[in-house]
Amino acid sequence: MKSLLSIQDISCYGKCSQTVALPVLSAMGIGTAVLPTALLSTHTLYPDPVRQPLTDFLVPAARHWKSLGLAFDAICVGYLGSADQVAAVREICAMFADTSPLLIVDPVMGDHGRLYAGFDTHYVEALSALCREADVLLPNLTEACLLTGTPCPPAPDGPQDPVLYDRLLDHLHALCDGLCVITGACTEEGRTGFCASSGAGRETLRYQTDRIGASYHGSGDLFTSVAAGALLLGLSPEQALRLAADHTRETIRATAAAGQDPRRGLALEETLPALIRAVRP
């Protein structure tokens, strides 16, 4: 069984981050360990969540695992709350480098053309250093622009010229010489998907699928989790990313049909059986 270490926060109510990654990766047959960067009573779409950062816990926990001889086939990094946490994660990655785990980084820091509240240019610089060490990098359009110093287009949620994505991918490869993926990439009205390449100047993988008229917290976490699991299972980058895009679309569709409070997050339970069939026939 392949194993993965997921490093991101736990929101105790409202599915996102670890509460998306753990069930999805487990369903795919990936043995998953979690290293929570913070505990939140709810995710941040609910007002005034209670927060408990776990920065001081991260490195000692990893040292304990190392002393036990534990190892992972991949490390997947999601939301980190501060530059100090980025530094801790880089130390942890170095700690396990002797077993050469695949490092997958989703550089969560912004969307819709702007940084998330609480982040600044210092955080972008810190996260950029982690991205340089990644084997797989999965920013959205806003994050790709922030990482590369590219002005964000005036309508970041609408269709973009494919040339923009090609240029961003080339710039991203100055940070990461592995697989770079721009998630939520839109080149056609009413469609969404990804643009990816495995090296500067190489042919871009493009995929567009139906955009469902709904938005849910944790959708990016779902895409990253499915892609990470699929890559560990031996799917090609194109197969893994297409599976992630299709499964995310169908989960959004099922969640919208369920009519629940959108703040609860994705109805993962509705589509996990289909994901299991896709990767474990």
Domain CATH for 149 = 3.40.1190.20
Q: Is residue 177 part of a domain?
A: yes
Burial of 99 (0-12, 13-18, 19+ CB in 10 A): exposed
Opening angle at CA 98, ends 58 and 239, nearest 5? 85
80 phi and psi angles, rounded to 5 deg: -125, 140
* Residues in the chain where the model's pLDDT stays below 50: none
Q: Is residue 279 part of a domain?
A: no
Q: Is residue 259 part of a domain?
A: yes
State pTM to two decimals: 0.96
Opening angle at CA 18, ends 199 and 48, nearest 5? 115
Written as six digits, the tokens of 171 are 């710039």
The count of other CB atoms within 10 Å of the CB of residue 260 is 13
For residue 110, what pLDDT is reported?
Answer: 94
For residue 260, what pLDDT is reported?
Answer: 86
Q: Is residue 278 part of a domain?
A: no
For residue 200, what pLDDT is reported?
Answer: 65
Q: Is residue 93 part of a domain?
A: yes
Q: Is residue 280 part of a domain?
A: no
Q: Is residue 190 part of a domain?
A: yes
Written as six digits, the tokens of 33 are 């360990």
Number of domains in the chain: 1
Range of the domain at 65: 3-273
Q: Is residue 163 part of a domain?
A: yes
Check if the beta carbon of residue 175 is closer than 8 Å to that of residue 145.
Answer: no
